[in-house]
Structure 1
Amino acid sequence: MDFSLHGNHGYVKTETYDDETTLKLSEVYLESIKLLGEDPTREGLQKTPLRVAKAMQFLTQGYNMNPDEIIRSAIFKEDYQQMVVVKDIELYSMCEHHLLPFFGKAHVAYIPRHHITGLSKIARVVEAFARRMQVQERLTTQIKDCIQNTLNPLGVAVVIEAQHMCMQMRGVQKQHSVTTTSDFTGAFLKNMATRQEFLNIIGSNLH
């Protein structure tokens, strides 16, 4: 989904979807509405299958993104070898077990080894992996591995803090629970002081 400024009339929303996928998904959701006991012909539901078909394509658009290429598109030679931290990156994903959302923040750091990447690319990598059917544990590791493999830094640290609707809306129904996952490489894995500096910066109590 792209947003572009259009004169004095505000932002004009443009969306691009695969027509065949949209049609097939719409048919599936139409049948699902019937199976759940609703009438898909009533006014409020007539366009719901189409809306959901488009929404699901947007929510899983990460399958069409290449995280490695996102990093490689903006790699710069630089002698800086101190910690680079991008924290509080908003993320929205879909739990692959129930297809319910989980959402929260990712905190990512790396220590360059002669090369850096654009700061926005870190956030885009998070987005590329999050916009898929996921589990938080895998998401954490995928972000870490992508940055480590493409930049070859001295170390990478990733912490994700998220709330899962599958815990809040169903199951145990614990509305205020937060799940924290972490993964580290290199200096963050071997040097406790380096890891603690990162945790202090992001304000995490993780040990």
Structure 2
Amino acid sequence: MSFSHLLQYDEETTDQLSENFTHIISGIGEEVEREGLIKTPVRAAKAMQFLTQGYGLDAREILRSAMFAEDYSEMVIVKDIELYSLCEHHMLPFFGKAHVAYIPDGYIVGLSKIPRVIDVFARRLQVQERLTDQVLQAIQETLQPLGVAVVIEAHHMCMMMRGVQKQNSVTTTSAFTGAFKSERTRNEFLKLITSDLS
């Protein structure tokens, strides 16, 4: 399944979600039959399926599909990976970037697979803390590297649009395994993800 386009939608799910969105629109006091809203329930139903497509995807299988034996044991970093998810508490978006590193122990993985793993878990109802840990565990369990590091920085619309309404707040979460438990290795990773090497 493509991460950029979800071309086919389950008709039964679309109908069910569309009916639910119709009730929501009516429930907030809007006129469902108004011209601008006539097709909104179906559009919203398809959007919700796209935004939660991660439930039907297997991150570990994605990684296994591009594992290569390689005698390389230095840090591999993919940084500034954009991510978009939905907060499970209010179903409002949170968005930002992820930085992922691992130290191979016999196997490397195609670099495009790491952003795909991010998407698998981000395209679900989430909390940032769990998302960080799920990415870490999928890479650790599949590649079995010497260590994995994940840092996610995100803006949460549930804080920006409602509640405390703080527009410039950024939430940062991190998780580390293996070699990244060492302060020296962890600091090297953190320095590299905050440096502009260009």
Which TM bucket (shorter chain)? over 0.9
Deviations 1:81-123 (A, max 9, x none): 0000000000000000000000000000000001100000111
Q: Does 1:85 align with 2:66?
A: no
Query: What's the CA shift for 1:34?
Result: 0.8
Equivalence for 1:160: 152
SS at match of 1:119: coil
Aligned to 1:109: 101
The aligned amino acid for 2:118 is V
SS of corresponding position for 1:76: strand
Label 1:156 to 1:14 Cα distance change in 2 as closer, same or farther (>3 A). Answer: closer
Q: Does 1:69 align with 2:65?
A: no
Name which of 192, 195, 205 aligns with 2:183.
192
* CA distance in 2: counterparts of 1:199 and 1:2, whole angstroms: 31
CA RMSD after TM alignment? 1.6
Shift of 1:198: 0.4
1:18 has 2:10 as partner: yes
Is 1:120 the counterpart of 2:106? The answer is: no
Aligned length: 195
Structure 2 CA distance, aligned partners of 1:92 and 1:184? 22
Q: Per the alignment, in what secondary structure is the counterpart of residue 164 of structure 2?
A: coil
Alpha-carbon distance in structure 1 between the residues aligned to 2:66 and 2:127: 28
CA offsets per residue over residues 110-169 of structure 1, 9 Å max, x none? Answer: 000011000001110001000000000000000000000000000000000000000000
Show structure 1 runs of 4+ deviating over 3 A: 1-4
Instruction: Output the amino acid matched with 1:102.
Output: F
Opposite residue 60 of structure 1, the aligned amino acid is T
The alpha carbon displacement at 1:15 in A equals: 1.8
Asked if 1 retains the 8 angstrom alpha-carbon contact of 2:3 and 2:119, the reply is no
Query: Given residue 30 of structure 1, which amino acid in structure 2 is its aligned partner?
Result: T
Q: 1:95 aligns with which of 87, 96, 100?
A: 87
Equivalent positions of 1:26-37 (< 5 A) are 26-37=18-29
**How big is the shift at 1:3?**
9.7
Contact 2:78 2:100 (C-alpha < 8 Å) held by counterparts = yes
Q: 1:60 aligns with which of 52, 56, 60?
A: 52
Contact 2:179–2:185 (CA<8 Å) still a contact in 1? Answer: yes
5+ residue gaps, structure 1, are 5-12
Inter-partner Cα distance in structure 1 for 2:179 and 2:13: 44
Give the partner amino acid of 2:11: D
SS in 1 for 2:145: coil
